[in-house]
Amino acid sequence: ESNLNPKYTFENFIVGSSNQFAHAAAIAVAENPGKAYNPLFIYGGVGLGKTHLMQAIGNFVKEHFPSKTVVYVTTESFMNDLIDSLRNDRMTQFREKYRTVDILLIDDIQFISGKDRTQIEFFHTFNALYDSGKQVVLTSDRPPKDIPMLTERLRSRFEWGLIADIQPPDFETRIAILRRKAEDEGIEVSDEVLKLIASRIKSNIRQLEGTLLKLKAKAQLEGKPLDAELVRTTLSIEPGNSTSVSESFSETLPVDEIKKAVSQIMNVKIEDLDGNSRKKQIALARQIAMYLCKKLGNYSYPKIAAAFNRSDHTTAMHAYNRIKELREKDAQIQSLLYEIEGVLTRSVD
Ligand code: ADP
Ligand code: MG
């Protein structure tokens, strides 16, 4: 009922220069909950180990201080829990649940952006915990100062304790992570293979691990060994040039995924995104979908235009620029985009 995944531990968290500060802070908090740094705020890009580190704190506390209660929630489920509780007149239980724990772990707090009611409730949760010396740990894809539409009083509380960032892992750390993963999965690979993968996948540990598993599956399916040649052909690495960058194995989001997410969240039919309707909501959804194709998928403008049945690539370019501009000044668009991007980045898992 703490919602922790037992596979996220300190033991299997590989430490390198990119994450050693956040790791040390997490250890300090796990050993001295409520006393070391409160709150601990960990931030960094997608797939760099924030959730792993946060849950490692929880698992450590459960093991070493069995009497302490730990609750792990995503910001989204905290929000849904709040909405349900408000609707069903269960706020007493809600407050009881979150204000009496010893360690509260809230993942992806950036999604609280623009959610006014949730911010108010979380403010009180935070105060209640903090005042009674209970530990709060937060993760985010960005530092508190860069979370838009966040009340000043929450922002300042996020900054009260320790802010620790996680950077993309360097080459050695990537290799160490791959080696560990290969051992855990019983995959036999040479150092050359690990180096090739680590030279190709740089900025996301989930993707790094995923690539190893994909290569293993490919080797099995094709009845070939998982050797350097298989890695080279799969990742399109030219022999003798292990760091060559090729787009043929990019992990970009499929356009259809983007369309699906936009259509669901904005309540617009997928067909309408490809059609010609100029109704306000439909036209906006279409432009948002094109914008996300560029931003998250990094597709070329001609490709985006074609994917939306347009012959002129400037349509896609115009859409991108318009939404980018709107995002800077329109709070509603900003929070809408966060929601859609949240769904899309989670579905990459
Ligand atoms: P984030 O929450 O930052 O998006 P996760 O914590 O979900 O990232 O990490 C993505 C994957 O990478 C998980 O499977 C996690 O176990 C693994 N991972 C991340 N960092 C490390 C690390 N330093 N050592 C071992 N595995 C890691
Ligand atoms: Mg995470």
Query: How many helices and strands, by DSSP H and E, does the chain display?
Result: 16, 5
DSSP state letters, 36-61: S-SSEEEEESTTSSHHHHHHHHHHHH
Residue 252 pLDDT: 65
DSSP readout, 228-241? HHHHHHHHTPPTT-
Q: Is the CB of 178 under 6 A from ligand 1?
A: no
Q: Can you tell me the mean pLDDT for 289-316?
A: 89
- Single pTM value for the model: 0.72
Mean pLDDT to the nearest integer, 75-104: 97
User: Which residue's CA lies nearest to atom 1 of ligand 1?
Assistant: 47
Quote the pLDDT of residue 246: 34
Q: CA distances (Å), 21 to each of 41, 84, 166, in order?
A: 12, 38, 8
Q: Quick one: pLDDT at residue 342? A: 79
d(CA 221, CA 203): 28
Tell whether ligand 1 has an atom less than 6 A from the beta carbon of residue 205: yes
Judge if the beta carbon of residue 343 lies within 6 A of ligand 1: no
What tokens were used for 345?
């980045």
Residue 247 is predicted with a pLDDT of 31
Q: What 8-state DSSP symbol labels residue 168?
A: P
Work out the percent of the chain whose per-residue pLDDT is above 90: 79
Nearest ligand, measured from the Cα of 26:
1
What one-character-per-residue DSSP string does 74-120 give?
EHHHHHHHHHHHHHTT-HHHHHHHHHS-SEEEEE-GGGGTT-HHHHH
Q: What is the pLDDT of residues 121-162, one digit of tens each?
A: 999 999 999 999 999 999 999 999 999 999 999 999 999 999
Q: How far, in Å, is the centroid of ligand 2 from the Cα of 278?
A: 38
Atom of ligand 1 nearest to the CA of 7: 16
pLDDT at 65 over 90: yes
- Six-digit token pair at 66? 């069995």
- Average pLDDT on 257-274 reads 92
Asked if pLDDT for residue 349 goes beyond 60, the answer is: no
- Using the structure block, give the residue that is written with the tokens 């950077």: 167
Contacts with 157 (C-beta within 8 Å, 6 or more apart), sequence order? 39, 123, 126, 130
Q: Give the pLDDT score at 346.
A: 59
Residue with tokens 């979370």: 147
pLDDT digits (tens, 9 = 90+) for 14-25: 999 999 999 999
Decide: 177 in ligand 1 pocket, CB within 6 A. yes
Q: What is the pLDDT of residue 240?
A: 53
- DSSP of 278-295: --HHHHHHHHHHHHHHHH
- Quickly state the pLDDT bin for 334 (edges 50, 70, 90): confident
The pLDDT mean for the chain works out to: 91
Q: What is the mean pLDDT of residues 278-286?
A: 94
pLDDT tens-digit map of 214-250 = 999 999 999 999 999 999 999 877 665 444 333 333 4
Is the pLDDT score of 50 beyond 80? yes
Q: What percent of the chain has pLDDT over 70?
A: 95
The contacts of residue 263 (CB under 8 Å, 6+ apart) are 269, 270, 272, 273, 285
The radius of gyration of the chain's CA atoms, rounded to the nearest angstrom, is: 22
Helix H or strand E segment including 70: strand 70-74
- Is the CB of 52 within 6 Å of ligand 1? yes
Q: 2 in the Ramachandran plot: left (φ > 0), alpha (ψ -120 to 50) or beta?
A: alpha
Q: Does 22 sit in the ligand 1 pocket, CB within 6 Å? A: no
DSSP state of 165: E
Q: Specify the ligand 1 atom closest to the Cα of 48.
A: 3
